[in-house]
Structures are given as structure tokens and as C-alpha cells.
Amino acid sequence: MFSITEDIPVRFINGQQIPARARILPDSLMMVLSTQQSIDAMEKEMMDAIGSVEDWLHMSRTDSLAFDAGTGLLKAVSFYYPELNRDPGNLHLLKTAEKTVGIPQLETDAPAFELIPFEYRYYQEERDLLLCFDDRFMEVEQLQEIAISNEVSLFFSNGQYCAWGVYHPEVLLTNHIGATTAYNADAFLKACFQEAFALITDETVEQMREHDGQALRKIAALHNRIVAHGAVVDSPLQVLKEWLFSLADKFYREKELDGLFNEGSA
């Protein structure tokens, strides 16, 4: 028996997955998995679903597992990822985790439930995995991994949901809900993603609120390396570059930005 929360059991239909490509939206700190190709269509999908489905468009900061009201099968996912990096200390369990391809199924008369976003994230370079978890995950001694799509997995310990992860997150960066072009990973993109997620944390955001110059220079330096390398329009690298500039533009005055960001920032 598996449980999403202590009182919400689910079963898994082996061999099935959500037939969609995950999208990571850095401006919203969200990972979305849905077959829908527009905000309006996704909002309707969420409204028609059962499970944990608070209105994600209104920034409720509640993770959504949207199950079909008729079949009980999971049909869409919307998760917030945190900005607090932490090594859980037990990543060796990923190597021995029992991995299954499957899709969760909820009882259609199950009550609505709230799914609080996890507190921590960790990017494991070896597996190219962005893992999101909380304190409970750091205490577990064994894991079960359920791959609900080609990129997204839910992790359980002793049947209890304790983490989620997305593989190859750097190629999934986008700034819109609609269909995205598939991009292959390369060493430069992967390195820039890793540096950006190490740099942009809760602590850095607080520093930016105080107009910290060192934080700004680090952001500008990474941005400018991407500019020098070159990025295809709408590519994950371009999205990463634009996100870095938008963060600086949000927290700093124009005169503080002057001369720091090379051409291609807009």
C-alpha cells in the first residue's frame, strides 16, 4: 500500500505513465507535467480533477496532484520547487531504490487533500537529478521510485511519499506552458544550470533585497558567460539567461545594473 499523505492511499497501475514532457518554469519556481498546451486548458484540467488541486494560477503554494474524477488516474502534476539547497546525506539510497514505471490511482470518492511543497532541493550531478524533499526524507533507510513520466519520479519509503525528482532538469527549462522543443543536454548548459541553482537560493534572494553588490556581480558573470557562448532563441540556455537578468532587474535599480550585463540581456 502506498500513501501520498498519511490518510490518502493510492495504488499504482504498472506500465503506464503520463504521456507528457515535464516543463520547469524558473520564474514561477514550478515543475509542471501535463498534456495540456495552454494556461486556460491546464486551469480547466485542474478544476475538473480530484486530489490536491488548489488553483495553482493564484500562487497558493500548494503542490497539485490532479487525478481524473472518473478513473482516479493521475493526469497532471504541478509542483513548487524550493530555493533552499541541502544535501540529504543518504543519496546512496537512489542506487538501490526499487524503480517501477507506473501511474498513481486514487479512489474516486477520496476527499480533497493539501500537499505542502517540500522544503529542500538538491541537484545530483551524477544522475542529473533535481530532487525535492523534506526532513522526513533524510531519515529514511530505503526508497521506492515510481517513474510517472520519462523525466519525473515520485519517491516513497515504506509506502509513504517522501520526495519527487525530475531528471535532466536543465533541458526542461522554459518560460511558457505551451509545447516546447526537445533539446539535448550539453556540458555547458548542465554546468550553467548547476551554477545557477547553487547561486539563486533563499539566502541570495535576501541579499538581493538588500541590493548586495557581490550577489549581483555573480549573477551578471554567469549571465555574461551565457551571452558569450550564445543561446538559441527559446532554448533552455536562453531561458536561463533571461531568468538571471529578470532577477537582477527585479531587485536592483537601473543605475546598479548599468554596465554589468552584456548585450542580449533583454
Domain boundary among 141, 171, 201: 171
- Residues 189, 237 contacting (CB under 8 angstroms): yes
Does residue 159 belong to any structural domain of this protein? yes
pTM equals: 0.93
Domain identity same for 202 and 133: no
Domain identity same for 121 and 149: yes
Domain that holds residue 223: 184-257
Domain identity same for 235 and 128: no
Does residue 176 belong to any structural domain of this protein? no
pLDDT computed for residue 54 by the predictor: 63
E strands present in the chain = 2-5, 8-14, 23-25, 30-33, 50-52, 64-67, 74-80, 98-106, 120-124, 129-133, 144-147, 152-157, 160-167
Distance from C-alpha of 69 to C-alpha of 265, rounded to nearest angstrom: 44
Nearest Cα to 179, choosing from 76, 37, 41? 37
Place of cell 511543497: 117
Domain identity same for 115 and 93: yes
Domain identity same for 7 and 116: yes
Domain boundary among 171, 192, 211: 171
Domain identity same for 36 and 165: yes
Domain identity same for 235 and 146: no
Domain identity same for 121 and 233: no
Does residue 117 belong to any structural domain of this protein? yes
- Residues 172, 24 contacting (CB under 8 angstroms): yes
Count of structural domains within the chain: 2
Domain identity same for 128 and 220: no
Domain identity same for 144 and 29: yes
- Residues 13, 103 contacting (CB under 8 angstroms): yes
pLDDT computed for residue 266 by the predictor: 44
Domain boundary among 147, 171, 195: 171
Domain identity same for 86 and 166: yes
Q: What is the pLDDT along the chain (266 residues), one digit of tens a residue?
A: 799 998 899 999 999 999 999 999 999 999 999 999 988 898 899 889 999 976 545 556 899 999 999 999 999 999 999 999 999 999 999 999 999 999 999 999 999 999 999 999 999 999 999 999 999 999 999 999 999 999 999 999 999 999 999 999 999 999 988 767 888 889 999 999 999 999 999 999 999 999 999 999 999 999 999 999 999 999 999 999 999 999 999 999 999 999 999 975 44
Does residue 178 belong to any structural domain of this protein? no
Does residue 177 belong to any structural domain of this protein? no
- Residues 12, 5 contacting (CB under 8 angstroms): no
16 DSSP assignment: -
Domain identity same for 103 and 157: yes
